Amino acid sequence: MEIRKGANGAAPTIRMASTHDWGRTLQKEFEDHSEVCFVRVAADFALGKITLQEYLDAILGHLKQGNAKHKYDVKYWYEEGGGDDVTNYMEWDLFAGAVKARSARIDPSFNGMPDKEVCWTSNDPAEFDRHLEEQVDGSPVSELSVFTTDLLLVICYARRHFELFKHLISHSPSSPEVTMFDLFDSHIIATRLSGYLQIHQHSPQHPDNSRVEVMFWKELLNSRWVHEPMRHGLNVALCDHVPIGREWSEWVVKLGSPELEAFQRALVARGHYTSISSIGSFLGMCDTFEKAQRIFDIFDGEGLVKATGYPSLPTWASGGLVLSIARSPFNENNLRSRIMAMALQEIKGVDVNALSDGWQVGPGGGSMASSNLYTALHVAAFNGDKPLAEVLLRYGARVEAELPLAKDKKTKPADIARQAGHVEFAEWLEQKPSNGACV
What CATH number is attached to the domain comprising 363?
1.25.40.20
Does 239 fall in a domain? Answer: no
Instruction: Decide if 107 contacts 99 (C-beta within 8 A).
Output: no
Closest C-alpha to 326, from 391, 416, 265, 420: 391
Does 108 fall in a domain? Answer: no
Count the neighbouring beta carbons within 10 Å of the beta carbon of residue 430. 14
Digitized pLDDT (tens) for each residue of the chain, 439 residues in all: 888 887 777 888 888 766 666 667 788 888 888 877 888 899 999 999 999 989 988 888 878 766 656 666 665 543 433 445 788 889 899 999 999 888 877 777 787 776 566 677 789 999 998 888 877 666 688 888 899 899 999 999 999 999 999 999 999 999 999 999 999 999 899 889 887 777 888 998 899 999 999 999 999 999 989 999 999 999 999 999 999 998 777 889 999 999 999 999 999 999 999 999 999 999 999 999 999 999 999 999 999 999 999 999 999 999 999 999 999 999 999 999 999 999 999 999 999 999 875 444 444 444 444 435 789 999 999 999 999 999 999 999 999 998 876 666 789 999 999 999 999 999 999 999 887 444 3
- What pLDDT, on a 0 to 100 scale, did the predictor assign at position 244? 93
Closest C-alpha to 178, from 118, 233, 230: 230
- What pLDDT, on a 0 to 100 scale, did the predictor assign at position 349? 96
Please name every residue paired with 254 in a beta bridge, in sequence order, or none if there are none: 245
Does 342 fall in a domain? Answer: yes
Instruction: Decide if 146 contacts 180 (C-beta within 8 A).
Output: no
Does 431 fall in a domain? Answer: yes
For the purposes of burial, counting CB atoms within 10 Å of the CB of 148, is it exposed (0-12), middle (13-18) or buried (19 or more)? buried
Range of the domain at 419: 273-439
Does 374 fall in a domain? Answer: yes
* Alpha-carbon gap, residue 242 to 256, rounded angstroms: 14
Total number of domains in the chain: 1
* Alpha-carbon gap, residue 151 to 251, rounded angstroms: 27
* Alpha-carbon gap, residue 87 to 76, rounded angstroms: 9
- What pLDDT, on a 0 to 100 scale, did the predictor assign at position 141? 85
Does 189 fall in a domain? Answer: no
Cα angle, residue 92 at apex, residues 230 and 62 outer, rounded to 5°? 85
Closest C-alpha to 234, from 166, 178, 188: 188
- What pLDDT, on a 0 to 100 scale, did the predictor assign at position 367? 45
* Alpha-carbon gap, residue 105 to 126, rounded angstroms: 32
Residue 245 three-state SS: strand
Pairing of strands 2-4, 360-361: unpaired
Does 8 fall in a domain? Answer: no
Does 69 fall in a domain? Answer: no
* Alpha-carbon gap, residue 283 to 375, rounded angstroms: 17
